[in-house]
Amino acid sequence: MIKSLTALSMAALLVSACGDTWGQRAVTGGAIGAGSGAIIGGVTDIGVLPGALIGGVAGAGIGAATAPRKRNRYYYDD
């Protein structure tokens, strides 16, 4: 059971937070986190709803925090 939870967690991390902007990454990270949290909560004693809530919040936070920074292409460092 621990191996399957570990594999599921690693798979969720690999596909987490797709998008280019801060908002897109927060939304997709939250959706992926909620889905994987619901699955993990369903197979543990936490429960589906609390697992989805915890996973959604964590996924949105991680997705927003890892958004790529846009560079100013008109700025030249001489």
pLDDT digits (tens, 9 = 90+) for 51-66: 999 999 999 998 888 8
pLDDT at 25 over 90: no
**2 Cβ contact partners less than 8 Å away, ≥ 6 residues apart:** none
Confidence at 32, pLDDT banded by 50, 70, 90: confident
Q: pTM surpassing 0.75? A: no
DSSP assignment, residue 72?
A: -
- Average pLDDT of the residues of the chain: 80
The pairs formed by 53-58 with CB atoms below 8 angstroms and a separation of 24 or more are: 56/30, 56/31, 57/30, 57/33, 58/33
pLDDT at 47 over 70: yes
**Which pLDDT belongs to residue 16?**
56
Q: SS3 of 67, please?
A: coil
